[in-house]
A and B are shown apart, each in its own frame.
Chain A
Amino acid sequence: MSTPTLSDIDVDVTVTDEPDPAPAQARGRRARRPRRRTWRTNRFAYALVAPAVCFMVLVHLLPAAGGILLSFKNLNTFTFSQLYAAPWAGLQNYRSILFDADNPLHSGFFGAVQNTAVYTFWTVGLTLCGGMAIALLVKRPMRGQKVVRTLMLTPWIVPSYVVATLWQFMWQSDVGIVNKVLVDYTHLLHDRPVWLLGPKTMWAIIIPSVWRGLPFAMLIFLAGLQAMPRELYDAAAIDGAGPIRRFRYITLPLMRPLIAIQLLFGVIYAAYQFAIPYIMFGSNPGDDADLMMTLIVRQSFSNSLFGFGAAASTLLMFGMLVWVLIWYRAFRRDLEATR
């Protein structure tokens, strides 16, 4: 019986001649004291991951593959009863989305792409900048620091459908608290803005998203700030570097890996946003706030254009793959530095 023993465990630094299965894996997922790969320990590890893998393949990956398959099919109200046996459409779904200018789905798709890009840019940008600013604020020693840090997390716990409901109420033009503050109390504006109709609807969904996202960004950046070596700051202060220069030349470079990860997932989650516009405006948020997800869900489930929905989902995923590649090129060096 070759159960792993201490002698097995202590060889973790020796180079094995087997090729590392994933040399370039993101962020160095190395076990702290990896045990030597023997068939026996391997088998145990496989047994441990097997349930999760089987389940995910069955309910996660196979359906996703099915989604790509469906994008090449002509599945709509008339062919729905055939399910996967629906007639092939070849690239027709893609062609009508991307190139058929007469098709209303074409303009709808590109409108949603543009809206999603705007929404993602502002949501992620404001969340990261604001999160960093708040993290710097609450990192300072002050009275009630613990309370402040804990209460700052509150917006993150409020479910997004409650966030959307609440802000929809606050955005009301006549009695909503936002306009009351902006117009009646502070007189910053003279005309009451209409938030829930027309061009401002985009801000009506961006601002609540940022509000809900800030605490999480703050939490992650705060962890990074606390892990930062104190000596660097002291040395810089002695050299006469002011707070702004210290932030620019010490904090920011050291935080790059954390910023990179936040950026990666922030963009993905923002691009897949559904709940906030859906709850605030229903299945059709209008031309100014229709995001990719609301468009796909509406066309698939309200209009039964399943082929279109599947093709649009696939295109959206490709867009995100492109984003990941760009991101990887931009931040590869930072990720390697944290290994």
Chain B
Amino acid sequence: MTALPMSARTRKRVIERGLDVLTWLVLLVMIAPVLWLVASSMQTDGNLARGTYDLLHPTFRAFRDMWSTVEFSRYLVNSVIICTAAALLATAFASTAGYALARYKFRGGGTFSIALVGTQLIPGSMFLLPVFLGMVWLGRHTPIHLFDTRVGMILVYTAFFTPVAIYFLRSFFLAIPTELEDAALVDGCTPFAAFWRIVLPNALPGLVATFVYAFLFAWDELLFVAALTEHNAETLPIGMRNFIGNYSQDYGQLMAAGVVSTLPVMLAFFATQRWLVRGLQAGAVKG
């Protein structure tokens, strides 16, 4: 019996289907750790210690207990307030600066864009110390308390994430046709009114995406909050570190805390995914 030689077309189809399977396998590997996080958060401590999982009988005890083991709600509330405020402020700064970079060619504009990239080159630890010392100094000599306060963290995060927000939003402004503003300008609008009444409303998806983008970064930030807070303004990553440091055996609660910390950003991301992805990709391809 001789095997029938595969025609070129069949061979191509076999390869294509094989690559489809490979794609799904890669996807499985990519999301497996997240599935493991969720699965582990719903196991009893005994199951976790033995490493035998009972997926059919999930328990939500860890989700109930985690709030009292460490003051998890305090960390969560701080994270929500600080990240929301910082992302809003960064988006506000970025809306005007990004618009200027997208539409106007002005002396110093090029330097400004390079400086924005340049800020990414400064290690966080570099201005961490001076910011820390500055906050301590202000607290001693003035009634302005920034060390270990939410306001202090909001200011630091805003400054730190404004550059990326500007770049991100700029690509959205570039995608808006100039005809709208031109018409408004011809009708006697001031440049600012054209920006405020015509451009900004049209850039709403970009503004939302920028907000979420900055929010994702702020939510992830650990270095500054580790150094610039000691109790009042501590956010989720510190809570997580305290969890691991002090209750490292409570893996169920640890995983539940991980799920709770991930949910807000996950929801925000998937709700605005279309715009966010467009912004990221446009920025990459068009510069």
- Chain A residues in the interface with B (C-beta under 8 A): 3-6, 9, 18, 20-23, 25-35, 37, 41-42, 44-49, 51-53, 55-56, 58-70, 83-84, 134, 137-138, 140, 142-143, 148, 150-155, 157-162, 165-170, 174-177, 180, 211, 214-216, 219-220, 222-224, 227, 258, 261, 265, 268, 272, 274-275, 278-279, 282, 292-293, 296-297, 300-301, 306, 309-310, 312-314, 316-317, 320-321, 324, 338
Q: Is B56 an interface residue (CB 8 A)?
A: no
How many Å from the CB of A46 to the closest CB on chain B? 7
Most chain A CB inside 10 Å of its own CB: which residue of B111, B166, B182, B227: B182
A44 to B241, CA, bound (A): 47
Report if A223-B285 is in contact (Cβ < 8 Å); known contacts: A5-B185, A143-B20: yes
The contact string, 1 if C-beta is below 8 Å from chain A, for chain B 30-42, is 1101101100100
> Are B162's CB and A56's CB within 8 A?
yes
A167 to B136, CA, bound (A): 36
Report if A137-B119 is in contact (Cβ < 8 Å); known contacts: A6-B182, A55-B93, A67-B130: no
Point out the residue from B30, B51, B96, B222 that lies within 8 Å of A275, measured CB to CB: B222
A-B contact pairs, 15 of them (CB 8 A): A20-B110, A26-B114, A31-B101, A31-B102, A44-B191, A51-B97, A59-B156, A64-B122, A66-B134, A83-B133, A151-B31, A166-B37, A216-B280, A258-B285, A293-B223
A152 to B277, CA, bound (A): 12
How many Å from the CB of A120 to the closest CB on chain B? 13
> Are B254's CB and A169's CB within 8 A?
yes
How many Å from the CB of B259 to the closest CB on chain A? 8
Report if A42-B127 is in contact (Cβ < 8 Å); known contacts: A52-B94, A161-B220: no
Which residues of A sit under 8 angstroms from B244, Cβ to Cβ? Answer: 165, 168, 279, 282
A309 to B50, CA, bound (A): 43
Q: Is B9 an interface residue (CB 8 A)?
A: no
Which residues of A sit under 8 angstroms from B20, Cβ to Cβ? Answer: 140, 142-143
How many Å from the CB of A187 to the closest CB on chain B? 17
Which partner residue on chain B sits nearest A297 by CB separation?
B125
Which residues of A sit under 8 angstroms from B227, Cβ to Cβ? Answer: 297, 300-301
A140 to B33, CA, bound (A): 25
Report if A170-B120 is in contact (Cβ < 8 Å); known contacts: A49-B97, A59-B159: no
> Are A309's CB and B129's CB within 8 A?
yes
> Are A159's CB and B265's CB within 8 A?
yes
A282 to B242, CA, bound (A): 10
Report if A166-B33 is in contact (Cβ < 8 Å); known contacts: A20-B110, A44-B191, A301-B227: yes
How many Å from the CB of B110 to the closest CB on chain A? 2
Point out the residue from A33, A148, A158, A320 that lies within 8 Å of B34, measured CB to CB: A158
Report if A55-B159 is in contact (Cβ < 8 Å); known contacts: A46-B106, A159-B237: yes
> Are A297's CB and B226's CB within 8 A?
yes
A91 to B241, CA, bound (A): 36
> Are B281's CB and A219's CB within 8 A?
yes
Which partner residue on chain A sits nearest B257 by CB separation?
A165
Q: Is B22 an interface residue (CB 8 A)?
A: yes
A9 to B133, CA, bound (A): 48
A26 to B266, CA, bound (A): 33
Which residues of B sit under 8 angstroms from A25, Cβ to Cβ? Answer: 110, 113-114
> Are B104's CB and A45's CB within 8 A?
yes
Report if A220-B33 is in contact (Cβ < 8 Å); known contacts: A29-B101, A268-B120, A279-B241: no
Interface of B is mostly: helix
Interface of A is mostly: helix
> Are A227's CB and B285's CB within 8 A?
yes
> Are B126's CB and A140's CB within 8 A?
no
Most chain B CB inside 10 Å of its own CB: which residue of A28, A61, A167: A61
> Are B127's CB and A162's CB within 8 A?
no
Q: Is B19 an interface residue (CB 8 A)?
A: yes
How many Å from the CB of B73 to the closest CB on chain A? 17
Most chain B CB inside 10 Å of its own CB: which residue of A34, A157, A275, A292: A157
Which partner residue on chain A sits nearest B160 by CB separation?
A60
How many Å from the CB of B208 to the closest CB on chain A? 16
Report if A161-B241 is in contact (Cβ < 8 Å); known contacts: A32-B102, A52-B96: yes
A25 to B115, CA, bound (A): 10
> Are A70's CB and B281's CB within 8 A?
no
> Are B237's CB and A223's CB within 8 A?
no
A117 to B207, CA, bound (A): 37
A187 to B133, CA, bound (A): 54
A66 to B134, CA, bound (A): 10
> Are A165's CB and B240's CB within 8 A?
yes
Which residues of B sit under 8 angstroms from A21, Cβ to Cβ? Answer: 107-111
How many Å from the CB of B38 to the closest CB on chain A? 10
Which residues of B sit under 8 angstroms from A66, Cβ to Cβ? Answer: 127, 129-130, 133-134
Which partner residue on chain B sits nearest A62 by CB separation?
B130
How many Å from the CB of A267 to the closest CB on chain B? 11
User: Could you list 9 further interchain pairs (A-B, Cβ under 8 angstroms) beyond the known A52-B96, A165-B257?
Assistant: A31-B103, A45-B103, A52-B94, A58-B159, A66-B127, A140-B19, A148-B23, A158-B34, A279-B237
Point out the residue from A30, A68, A157, A272 that lies within 8 Å of B269, measured CB to CB: A157
Point out the residue from B33, B126, B188 that lies within 8 Å of A167, measured CB to CB: B33
Q: Is B236 an interface residue (CB 8 A)?
A: yes
> Are B236's CB and A165's CB within 8 A?
no
Which residues of B sit under 8 angstroms from A151, Cβ to Cβ? Answer: 27, 30-31
Q: Is B123 an interface residue (CB 8 A)?
A: yes
Which residues of A sit under 8 angstroms from B222, Cβ to Cβ? Answer: 160-161, 274-275, 278-279
